[in-house]
Amino acid sequence: MSDKLTGRDHRSLRRVRYEDELNPQQLAVVMHPGGPMLALAGAGTGKTRTLVYRASRLIEDGVPPGRILLLTFTNKAAREMMRRVEQLLEHGMNRVTGGTFHSAGHRILRRYAEFLGYSPRFSILDREDATDLMGAALADTSPEVPGQRMPKPRLLVDLYSFVINTGHDLADVLSERAPQFIDQGEVIAGVFKRYLERKRAADLMDFDDLLLNWLLLLTRFPRARQELQENFSHILVDEYQDTNRLQADIVDAMLGPERNVMVVGDDAQSIYAFRGADFENILGFPERHPECEVFRLETNYRSVPPILGLANASIEHNTRQFKKLLRPDREGGELPTEVAVPTPEIQATYVADQILELVEEGLELEDVAVLYRNHAHSLDLQVELARRNIPFRVRSGLRFFEHRHVKDVLAHLRFVDNPRDEVAFARLIKLRDGFGPRLAARLWDDLAGADSLRRLLGTDSGSLGLPRPARTSLTQLQTLMDTLSAPKTLGQPGEAIRQVVESFYGPWARAHLENSGSRLEDLEQLALFADGYPDLNAFLSEVTLLNDLSGEEAVAGPPDDMVTLSTVHQAKGIEWRAVFVIWLSEGRFPSFRADDEEEERRLFYVAVTRARDRLCLVRPEIARDRYRVDTILDPSRFLSELPDVVRELVTVAEERRADGYDALPGGGRYTLPSFVDDASGDDDIN
C-alpha cells in the first residue's frame, strides 16, 4: 500500500521485518492491500500477533494511528495489542482508538449525544441502578398485575439486555429464557418502553444503550455516519465469532467507501450463543461483503501433534463451518488418554491422583487445569481436592459452595439444623415477598428464644402485625419448615434440598435470576452430593469444613501455585501444559439442556485445544440419580465419533481408599484474646 497522504512508498522505510517474523499465512493477512477481509485464526495460531503486525504495517504505510479503530472484547486485550504495536514501531500509540465495543461506543456517543436527544454529560447506569430503574418502570406500568405473575426487575433487566443485543422478538426470548412469563409479553413490552422513557428523561444510558444508540446514530443520522466513516479508515475486530447481531451491524455501518475492515476469529470456537453471540456473523461475513478475501491461519504453536489430531478429528463432524486443518509447529508428544472410571467419586479421586503424579514429574500446579461443561460438574472434584489439601482456584472466582443460589438453599437447611442461626434465618426470610432487612430483624426479635424454629412453627402469622404479603410469605415458610424438620427429612439431606427447590426456590429463581436453568441444575447436583450423607447435620458439617480447607500444605510451591478448575466457557483464550476434561458422558457433555449439537462440539473443541502437552478425557460409567438408583452413562458422542488412533483408551477399576486423607495443618498452644470471656479462668487451651 502506498501512503495516500504523502505519496511515498513506505516499503523501503519499514522498521519491522515482516517476512522474517511471520509465517506465510500470517504474512498474507498483514500485507493485504485493503478492503474487507476475514482471517480465520484457529486455536493457537497467533491471532493476536497477526492483528498487532497488521496495525503496525498500516501505520508504517502512512495510516494515521487515530484513524484505526481496534475493537476487542476486553480493554486489557486492546491495551496489550497497542503496547505491542508501540514496541514494534518505537513511537506512541496513544491516538489509536482501541477497546471494547462498549468503551468505543461511549467515546463516540459523548461527541454525538445531542443528535440522539442526550446531553454530552449523560450518565451511565450500572447494573444495580438499571435494576432499580426497571423496578420503577414496572411499578409505573403494571400495578394491576400481581407481582408474583411478573418477572422481578433483575430478571427484566436480563431479558431486556438479551432482546436489545440480539434483535430477537420479545416473545421468542420469553419462550426460550422465561417461558413462565410468556402470557405477560405485552405487559413486559410496556415496562421496557417505560424504562426507555425514564432513561431518556433523566439523561441516562445503560450499557446496552451504548451499543443501541451507536447503531441508531449510524443509521438515522447520515452526517454523523459520514464523519465517523471519515474518522476511521480502518477497523480491526478481534474475536469476531463472539459478536452479537447488534455489534456486527455497527461494524458494517462504520465502513466507508473503501470498506477497510479486518475481522479475526474462529468459527470453530463460537460458543457463546447463550450470551447472545450470533454464529451467523462470522459464517455469513463473506456473503455480506462479496469482495471479502478469506484467509486461514492453520499453523498451531501451542499443542503437540497428537492433541491437534484429536481436535481436527472431532471438529470435522460439524457441517456448518469453514473447513480448516490445524497443523502443528511442534514435534512429538503423547497420545491423549480417554479414561473410563466407574463413578463420579472415583473420577474425582483419579484426577486428584493424576495431578499429584504430574507434580512429581516436575509440573507446577499452575500448569494444570480441569475443565467441565457445567459448574456443578466440579462439585465432587472440589471436595476431593479440598480433602487432599491440593490448592485450587475456580475461574469464575467462586467455589461451588460460595454461589448465591447454593448459599440460599443451604440457609434453609442450616436454620433447621440450628434454630439459633440468625444469619441463616436473615438470608432465607429476605428471599420472601414482603420482607426487607428491618422487618426481618423485627421478626427475629419476636422469635428469639431457646428454639426459634419451634416458635416460628407455633406462631400465628396474623398475630405479628405483619403486612399482608409478609403474612402470606411467613405462612408458606412455616409449611416448608415443618416439612424440613420432620425426622424422615432430617435423615435425607438430599431430599431436604429438593423440598426447598420444589416448594419455593425453583419458582423464585425462575422469577428473579438469570440462567435459572443452570442454577437449578447446580442444586440438583448438590442434592445428589448430599444423598451420600446419613443426616442433615453430617452434611452441613462437611460443607462448612470444606469451605475452610485451603490446601496450602499439600504441595510445596509459591502461594499462587494452584490447579485451575473452570467451565470450558471460562477457559477460552487460556492454555495449560496439562488439561483434564471431565464428565464426558451423554447428557453431561454434551449437555442434555443444549439444543445445538454443533455448538456443543465446538465447545469440546475449545476444551481440548487448551492443552499444550497432556490431554486426559475422563468419563464416569455410572451415576446415581435422585432416587438413589445407579444409571449407566453412555460415553459422550464426541468420544464415540473419534477414531481409536487419536487417543489411548484406559479403564480404571474401582478402588476403596484404605488410608485417610492428609490431616489438616494445626498444633501448638493458643492464648485467648483478652476480650474473650473464658469461663474456666484458664487462658491456655491445649
Residues involved in catalysis = 47-48, 238-239, 269, 610
Report, in angstroms and rounded to the nearest whole number, the Rg of the chain calculated over CA atoms.
Answer: 29
Q: Which of 601, 394, 413 is nearest to 498 (CA)?
A: 413
Q: Are 369 and 578 in contact (CB under 8 A)?
A: yes
DSSP one-letter code for 501 = I
- Secondary structure of residue 168 in the 3-state scheme: coil
Q: Spell 29-65 as b/e; 16+ CB within 10 A means b.
A: bbbbebebbbbbbbbbbbbbbbbbbbbbbbbbbbbeb
For helices 404-417 and 536-548, what crossing angle results, to 10°? 130
Q: If DSSP codes are grouped into helix, strand and coil, which group holds residue 64?
A: coil
Q: How far apart are the first and last CA of the chain?
A: 80
Q: Record the cell numbers describing residue 408, joined without a space.
A: 440460599
- Separation in Å, CA 646 to CA 318, 335, 474, 612: 18, 7, 59, 15
CA geometry: angle 410, 347, 628, nearest 5 deg: 55
> Any residues with CB less than 8 A from the CB of 239 and at least 6 apart, and which?
72, 73, 264, 265
Rounded Cα gap, residues 494 and 483, in angstroms: 14
In sequence order, which residues have a C-beta less than 8 Å from that of residue 193 and are 6 or more positions away?
141
Measured distance CA(206)–CA(466) in Å, rounded:
37
Spatial distance between the Cα atoms of 175 and 205, rounded to a whole number of angstroms:
27
54 grid coordinates: 497488521
How many secondary structure helices (H) and strands (E) does the chain include?
Answer: 30, 21
CB 330 within 8 A of CB 44: no
Cβ neighbours, 10 Å, residue 115: 15
Specify the pairing of strand 234-237 against strand 68-72. parallel
β-strand pairing of 299-300 with 68-72: unpaired
Q: Where are the beta strands (DSSP E) in 213-260?
A: 234-237
686, burial (CB in 10 Å: exposed 0-12, middle 13-18, buried 19+)? exposed
3-class DSSP assignment, residue 190: helix
* Secondary structure (H, E, C), 66-77: HHEEEEECCHHH
Q: DSSP letter string over 559-612?
A: TT--EEEEEHHHHTT--EEEEEE---BTBTTTBTT---HHHHHHHHHHHHTTEE
